[in-house]
Structure 1
């Protein structure tokens, strides 16, 4: 748990929401409660992988099917025809997860919104002389949707996401 706490971005839950003209719609500071701590996915992934015995994760395979065996165990069938058995199954393979069907009958549907994730590195140094910061820059003219928003968050380093 201490290793996880060491990667939490204190203050990282704060966000600013801007419309396509860079008008500030909401300034949501981090309340310090740590109710939903922020940490980079790569750091979380590293901690989890390092906690497992070698060979636990099978890379380069695509899951085709999951079959419950009882007592929390599952048989995994991969597209290459190989199989594996699990004592613990973590479904982290995305929106169209094969594991999702084991815990929910809900199917993902398009909600009319797209999300683009990007990183702007060294913003304090590389963008210091601009009259606008990357976090408050207007959306590009190609973003003509009237409800277009930009949400930015400062990471522990001088990076905006």
Structure 2
């Protein structure tokens, strides 16, 4: 009589973080019939504003959405005209205006919130557990692992995927690296109903994004859907510059006066991007991880996106996170064990992210350079395209 085979237990997969990377990974896993749970610290999907617009590239972000079966829905939301890129001088004169061809679909824009909703709505009900802030990962390296949450609860899992951003609570399970402040900060200002309330700004920005810099500070304006524009006020400053200036995050008038003083030499039409905003400012200091950031393989824990490689905001980070998610999910779907899948994924991801991170060292300062290329993403995109071509040659 033949002895019946013992079925291989279905691995319990836990993703920490319901951002684009974590949700993309969950969606592709579910498309392959693999169960997964996503844990996020936010109380619900609407707890936080998801930020501005993203350009999703054909060879990574769009590739992941195609594997997720969502590319058709993406094109219903995407704005190809958002690829327009202008550069101004500090007087507001347009130095260069790159207008995309009508059939240019390489990196159309989509609002972060729209992308997140697209991914969230594609998941099986109950996939995302809200209000579950991770405290720590415990248990032996070969598993099972125990996830301890700040609400006092815990669960066992066979694979922990850290998709929880710059200050990842999963990262310490594989790496001692911590983010360091880059010395550059973004202060975000919002403008609503721009065609009616901020017509001059709307005309100045155009259909996509525009930037100006004097070498020490910069303004980067980005059109979002629904008649909104976000302006990022970029400067070298201490991470605690608001409190160090005797201000608080709620002191909108005080912050405005401080910023206007720093941009005193700029033309009034440019300073309106600082003074005429609707509502409070949001300060977003830029942090970086050491380059390269690698770790010794652990069979039960891995990272993707900013948890693994924290890139400057020049159009690389979200695309790379979604490509990570794509590669990890497909590895889990095509390898017989979690350990083998994680090894295969990290064999692709770590060299790719290392090359990009090393090429972009000082990328935050690059945002302020006067001789910056009209599209500040060109160098990163060229490198990433080279890496993609090499990946296809290697068959990985």
What is the CA-CA distance between 1:148 and the residue it aligns to?
1.4
Larger deviation, residues 75-84 vs 52-61: 75-84
- Provide the C-alpha distance between the structure 2 equivalents of 1:122 and 1:103, rounded to a whole number of angstroms: 46
What is the CA-CA distance between 1:59 and the residue it aligns to?
1.1
CA deviations 1:49-103 (Å, max 9, x no partner) are 11222222111121112358769x8643211232233767361x33212245578
Which structure 2 segments of 5+ residues have no match? Answer: 1-69, 206-213, 231-396
**Match for residue 201 of structure 2 among 119, 133, 136:** 133
Q: Which has the higher contact order (CA 8 A, sep 6+)?
A: 1
1:97 lines up with 2:165 in the alignment: no
Cα distance 1:110–1:58, how it changes in 2: closer, same or farther (>3 A)?
same
Partner of 1:13: 83
Partner of 1:4: 74
Partner of 2:47: none
Cα distance 1:70–1:11, how it changes in 2: closer, same or farther (>3 A)?
farther
TM-score w.r.t. the length of structure 2 is 0.31
Which structure 1 segments of 5+ residues have no match? Answer: 138-144
Q: How many residue pairs were aligned?
A: 149
What is the CA-CA distance between 1:122 and the residue it aligns to?
1.5
Structure number with greater Rg is 2
Partner of 1:149: 218
- Provide the C-alpha distance between the structure 1 equivalents of 2:98 and 2:172, rounded to a whole number of angstroms: 35
Cα distance 1:51–1:79, how it changes in 2: closer, same or farther (>3 A)?
same
- Provide the C-alpha distance between the structure 2 equivalents of 1:101 and 1:37, rounded to a whole number of angstroms: 35
TM-score w.r.t. the length of structure 1 is 0.67
1:57 lines up with 2:128 in the alignment: yes
Query: Which protein has the bigger helix share?
Result: 2
- Provide the C-alpha distance between the structure 2 equivalents of 1:7 and 1:59, rounded to a whole number of angstroms: 26
What is the CA-CA distance between 1:13 and the residue it aligns to?
2.9
CA deviations 1:116-154 (Å, max 9, x no partner) are 2333121111123xxx426859xxxxxxx9621111122
